[in-house]
Amino acid sequence: MSWTDERIATLRKMWEGGATASEIAAELGGVSRNAVIGKAHRLGLKARPSPVKANEKKKAAAPKKSVTPAPKPATEARSESGGRGTAPAAAERPAARPAPAQASPAASGGGASSTPSQPVPNPAPDLPKIVSVGPGGFLRQGPGDQQAPIPPAPPRRLVPAKPSPEIADKTSLLDLSDKVCRWPMGHPGEPDFHFCGEPVNPGFPYCVEHCGRAYQAQLPRGVRRPPPPLPFGGPRVR
DNA sequence: CCCTGATTCGC
DNA sequence: GCGAATCAGG
């Protein structure tokens, strides 16, 4: 599986949104958690609460893999991608993951989506920002923080090329704005993946219909909810 | 044990 | 560039 533009875009989005590498790998499919991390680093985006790097002092002795590997007990069988059946359901995470407010260095030179400054002041700068990853691996936002994640509306006419004629009239990742519904249709990486694109329910990132899907009232325990959410596009076929 | 991200290094 | 192997903290 290669890193297409779409897959990289999904990786970027989810990574910056605070999704774990495992979740991203599960969403993308065909790649391991390590691959996601490695790619993220190669893309220049990193800096995220790392359990290992939490307490870093100044400089530690570099543990290098020398040419003379120490005799290690044969504790092999590290299964990565196929081993543990980590639930791919990133959608129904009960607790939202706090997104660390980080200054993106934007190391990529030709990066098209560089957002150096935030023109719109955050109405509630003191409140902890809650960002969770919704179905399809895009960011689920609280109704309050509607600051434009994609501030400049991309010049539509200068888009280099349509990925495929199938989605020519559909809402692609580049077409997203805070005016259109961001509900994903299909799965990222699939040829006809697109977004809903209907006008949003004002104050929400989705249209009225998908707001009904995204924000569901908490029902008492034991109450059976007739249709299991069934995120979008149906179960993944893989 | 499980999870996490970081790093190294052979390919 | 890619990602498995490995490391290391929670």
A29-53 per-position pLDDT tens digit: 889 999 999 999 898 887 777 666 5
Residue A38 within a domain = yes
Give protein residues whose Cβ lies within 7 A of nucleic acid chain B: A 20-23, 33-34, 37-38, 40-41, 46-53, 62, 64-67, 84, 86
Residue A112 within a domain = no
Nucleotide lying nearest to A34, CA to C1' measure: C3
Instruction: Please calculate the CA angle A185-A189-A45 and round it to the nearest 5 degrees.
Output: 110
pLDDT at A156 over 70: no
Nucleotide lying nearest to A85, CA to C1' measure: B2
Residue A199 within a domain = yes
Per-residue flag: A5 CB under 7 A of strand C = no
pLDDT at A72 over 90: no
Predicted confidence at residue A215, as pLDDT, reads 72
* A139, A157, A111, A106: CA torsion to nearest 10: -50
The average pLDDT across A51-63 equals 48
Predicted confidence at residue A151, as pLDDT, reads 52
The average pLDDT across A93-104 equals 40
Predicted confidence at residue A175, as pLDDT, reads 67
Predicted confidence at residue A36, as pLDDT, reads 93
Closest protein residue to C3 (Cα–C1'): A35
Residue A127 within a domain = no
Residue A178 within a domain = yes
Residue A75 within a domain = no
The residue assigned the tokens 């196929």 is: A82
- Tens-place pLDDT, residues A113-142: 334 444 444 444 444 454 555 555 555 555
* Residue A10 domain boundaries: 5-43
Predicted confidence at residue A183, as pLDDT, reads 81
Contact A29, A190 (CB under 8 A): no
* A75, A76, A81, A87: CA torsion to nearest 10: -30
The average pLDDT across A89-106 equals 40
Predicted confidence at residue A137, as pLDDT, reads 52
Specify the number of domains making up chain A.
2
In this structure, of A101-115, A182-196, A203-217, the range with the lowest mean pLDDT score is A101-115
* Residue partners of A171: CB distance under 8 A and separation at least 6: A180, A194, A195, A196, A197
A143: closest CA among A203, A99, A199? A203
pLDDT at A79 over 50: no
Residue A51 CA, nucleotide B6 C1', distance (Å): 10
Residue A129 within a domain = no
Nucleotide lying nearest to A72, CA to C1' measure: C6
Residue A180 within a domain = yes
